[in-house]
Structure 1
Amino acid sequence: MLQKLKNHVLAQTFRELKGNPKWSICTEPLWFIPYSLFVPFQTLYMRKLGLTSLEIGTTLTVGFLLQMFFALIGGVITDKMGRRKATVIFDTLGWTVPCLIWAFSQNFWWFLAAAAVNAAFQITNTSWNCLFIEDCPPKHITNAFTLIQMCGMLSVFFSPLAVILVGKHDVVPVMRWLYLIAAISMLAKFLLLYHFGGETQIGKKRMEETRNLSYFSMMKGYGRVFLTMIKSGKMRLVVYFMALTNIIQIATTNFFSLYVTEQIHLSDELVAVFPVIRTIVMIAFVIGLQNLFQKLRMKASLQIGFLMYIASHLLLLLTPEKNLLLVMGYTILEAAAYAVIIPRKDALMAHYVEPKERSRIYALYNVLMIGISAPFGSLVGWMFDLHPALPFLFNIGIFVLCIFLTMASRDLSHLEESIS
């Protein structure tokens, strides 16, 4: 068994990676572990401090709107400042600082301020992706993204610690400490990657090319890049998938915990158990079914993933009160769907982007994704107040739309290369 794991395609990829891709993977647990500890209880924490569902949704919407601004300037900053420097500065601003604000939050306005500062992470959505991809051999890009996802999966095994703490203490004091720990751990991650990583070759070239250009003149170049994107069927498809999967996560990430505690009446401490189950399923999926999905065409894989998403949401909506088993069934199906959809969406983006304009194209992708998604934070919160089932019914409609998009796409029909 051990020998089989050593020979697994992901293990081979990790051994062959060097430089930024390898250091990105090695340091990623320092972000993922504290994130996995606080994120299951984040909405409950907001609720305990008196926020309504509409206020929770409003913080998401305001965050999305500010993320559009940071995403727009992210490409220019990444080219001018360099991938490495932009990543350490704006990761610190976008994660360490808001974690400190969350730790001391008292009411809605604190969370609104944290959402505003947290929006700066959109700059590193561009700079970190460039740092990660540009020195990564093309044959390893898909599996490198899967390894990053594995870091997230494995870190969730620390979630029982949060369960134990919440079981012994109130949610609010526990969350305050978890946010403080997250601020320290994430800062360590950012500094280590900066120290051991290096600027990419494309990054050095772009810094030299833009040395004498103003930020304003570089921003004007977005017009040409945007026209290139909207003329490309492949790039439009990536925008659709990015926006729709982002909208999906609003309900599954932010309102699942409220649904199972307020509608199904499970206890608060059980909320952190589901990410662990989710992780086990995704690891089993990646290790056990990787080869099977590697043989399928992109279109078939995506359709299977969205069908599993539909099945998971229907099961959740049909779950009676205090039925832990069926909520676990939802978690298993949702985790399997996520393991199919998300790495393929990320890898599609990496494969379809022109290397020279990667930073500005990534920035525009993020702007379009956020712009489309922004109104849905408040909308989903409003729907939850009308009836807790509505956000999940809304998600089902999005899954159906995604299936039609995959069926209609000629680009996916011709994409033979497996992305897993």
Structure 2
Amino acid sequence: MNLCLPYASVYMIALGLKDWEIGFVATIYMFTQVIFAFLGGPITDKLGRRKTTALFDFIAWSIPCLIWLRAENFWFFLVAALFNGTMKVTTNSWDCLLVEDAEKSQITRIYSLVISCGHLSALFAPISSILVSRLTLVPAIRILYINAFIVMTIKIILLYAFSRETQTGMIRVRETRGKSMASELYGYGGIVKIMLASRGTLFAILISALVGIVGMINITFWQVIVSKKIGIPDVLLPFFPMFRSILALVSFFTIIPRLTKADLRIPLLVGFGVYIIGQSILIFTPVNGGIKYLILCISLIFDGFAVGILAMLAESLVALHVDAAERARVLALLQMTIMFVSAPFGWIAGGLSGISRNLPFVLNIGLLIIGIIATVLHYRKNKEVEA
């Protein structure tokens, strides 16, 4: 998928979509995630973590790849977003499959390893560049979506073949056998009480929502500002995310392990602060001269580190504060809440981008400042409680 992502938004523009339509597709994608995050817990409990991941990975990734491949206008992308939004079911089931049989002390390291492997995929970005330079944008991206369909489908088969159901998963499958989805959804009332009673869970929701919103805006509109405002040629677009991913990967094995040895307050504050610097540099990158390439790379140095540490910390905070016995349903409600809060921001950022390509990133800076304030207040309150 990382072969396609650097071109996703400019692919839409090449097929005639406007900025607000790109933002609207992102919002529909997020709202679909809200619905399926809500349903994800009961589905994961009834089918099991392993089967749920295989089935909904195919619905959420393989099918949309075929739609993106044949896309001709706004409506194709809207339908693909509806299918793609079901990925929130597998966000739930995959998280359970990944960490339910793990020791709590290992969870942060597990997420670091998985995210690192994800960043390794960006090293294949030159393939996209070569195709675009030889075939032009639209034909090249269509070929990349064929490749994405094949590779993602193989991934689904391999994961199903070589994984095993978790202990908690087997218990929940037995407990929910013969029960309707409606009865499982009705049980969410007690889960809400569990969540509201935990300050740590509420903090994890806020941090995950902020990181998710900023990441969504960055992924969707970074290509637009770099291509349409700063004037970077389309053929070079994949190299910048590759550079960012390499930096994130290096930080995983150098800086981040040192930062996360203590409590998570310092790495959270560092991550938010560094992200603000990166976004600010992006906004002020000049549009003329070769210096813009250097300044854009400096921006990505800060972004790469921030994305690496905040993605890992957001996942870890949720995993650490989730009630183990009700992990699937708690994660489902967490994801639903996060997506519900995040959903309008795709449309908002699209409208802002139509006014100025800089404004989505000004919005990001405001959200990151909220993250700093929330982190300071949360850990200050924790100290008061301990005292």
Q: Are 1:78 and 1:86, in contact at CA under 8 Å, matched by a contact in 2?
A: yes
| 1:75 corresponds to which of 41, 46, 52 | 41
Structure 1 segment 21-420 matched on structure 2, within 5 A: 35-322=1-288, 323-410=292-379
Q: Are 1:242 and 1:345, in contact at CA under 8 Å, matched by a contact in 2?
A: yes
Counterpart of 2:303, as a letter, is E
SS of corresponding position for 2:3: helix
Once the 2 structures are TM-superposed, how far is the Cα of residue 62 of structure 1 from its aligned partner? 1.1
Aligned partners of 2:370 and 2:343: how far apart in 1? Answer: 19
Q: Are 2:4 and 2:144, in contact at CA under 8 Å, matched by a contact in 1?
A: yes
Identify if the C-alpha distance between structure 1 residues 295 and 82 changes in structure 2 by more than 3 Å, giving closer, same or farther.
closer
Aligned partners of 2:304 and 2:120: how far apart in 1? Answer: 14
**Structure 2 stretches lacking a partner, 5+ long:** none
SS of corresponding position for 2:231: coil
Aligned partners of 1:221 and 1:310: how far apart in 2? Answer: 40
Q: Are 1:312 and 1:334, in contact at CA under 8 Å, matched by a contact in 2?
A: yes
> How many aligned residue pairs are there?
380
Counterpart of 2:212, as a letter, is N
The 10-residue stretch of structure 1 (177-186 or 281-290) with the greater mean CA deviation from structure 2: 281-290
Counterpart of 2:8, as a letter, is Q
Counterpart of 1:149, as a letter, is I
SS of corresponding position for 1:36: coil
The 10-residue stretch of structure 1 (207-216 or 100-109) with the greater mean CA deviation from structure 2: 207-216
Deviations 1:141-183 (A, max 9, x none): 1111111111111110000111111122211111111111111
* Identity rate, percent: 35
Aligned partners of 2:381 and 2:155: how far apart in 1? Answer: 36
Once the 2 structures are TM-superposed, how far is the Cα of residue 412 of structure 1 from its aligned partner? 8.4
The 10-residue stretch of structure 1 (229-238 or 90-99) with the greater mean CA deviation from structure 2: 229-238
Q: Are 1:234 and 1:411, in contact at CA under 8 Å, matched by a contact in 2?
A: no
Once the 2 structures are TM-superposed, how far is the Cα of residue 212 of structure 1 from its aligned partner? 2.5
Structure 1's consecutive aligned runs of 4 or more residues displaced over 4 angstroms after TM superposition are: 411-414
CA RMSD of aligned residues (A): 1.3
Aligned partners of 1:253 and 1:64: how far apart in 2? Answer: 14
Once the 2 structures are TM-superposed, how far is the Cα of residue 352 of structure 1 from its aligned partner? 0.7
SS of corresponding position for 2:101: coil
Aligned partners of 1:378 and 1:291: how far apart in 2? Answer: 36
Deviations 1:232-290 (A, max 9, x none): 11111111111111110122101111101111111111211111111221122112224
Identify if the C-alpha distance between structure 1 residues 412 and 319 changes in structure 2 by more than 3 Å, giving closer, same or farther.
farther
Once the 2 structures are TM-superposed, how far is the Cα of residue 295 of structure 1 from its aligned partner? 3.5
TM-score (norm: length of structure 1) = 0.88
